[in-house]
Amino acid sequence: MATVMQPQLTFTEKALERAKAILQKPENDGKALRVFVFGGGCAGLNYGMAIGFVKPDDYVLESGGYKIIVDPKSMNLLKGMQVDYYESIQSSGFKFNNPNAIASCGCGLSFKTAEKTEMAHPKPCH
């Protein structure tokens, strides 16, 4: 059974609005927004997001009937993180403010923590 997420990971109102907009699409009915960490990138770890189903060991954040999920291994690296959403003329996307990151890449998607962490590279989504 999934664990209801305590305030270990927060989403700003803008990020929640964007997540809900994604999850409202008919093809995402019954699915959740997964936030995860995987190995790779300039700094060694990357943030990832995908649409999927809740797994028994997931942490679940519910908001307005929509679910955001995180696997336990990723949660260890994301505790205290705030997810925001930005829009500009040049780009838009989710922004990750992670207090566990001691270094990050210029793009903001790759980071490193103080502890040595091994994460698998994800399989291609094709």
Segment 17-65, tens digit of pLDDT: 999 999 999 999 999 999 998 887 777 888 899 999 999 999 998 887 8
Given 2.60.300.12, 1.10.150.120, 1.10.1040.10, 3.40.50.150, which CATH number is that of 3-113?
2.60.300.12
**How much is the pLDDT for 25?**
95
Query: For the residues 94-102, what does the mean pLDDT come to?
Result: 86
Domain boundaries, the chain: 3-113
User: Where would I find the H helices in 1-126?
Assistant: 13-23, 72-78
Q: Is the pTM of this model over 0.85?
A: no
H or E stretch covering 27: none
Q: What is 71-121 written as a DSSP string? A: -HHHHHHHTTEEEEEEE-SS-EEEEEE-TTEEEE-TTSSEEEESS----PP
Structure tokens at 2: 């999934």
**How much is the pLDDT for 5?**
55
Amino acid identity at 61 = L
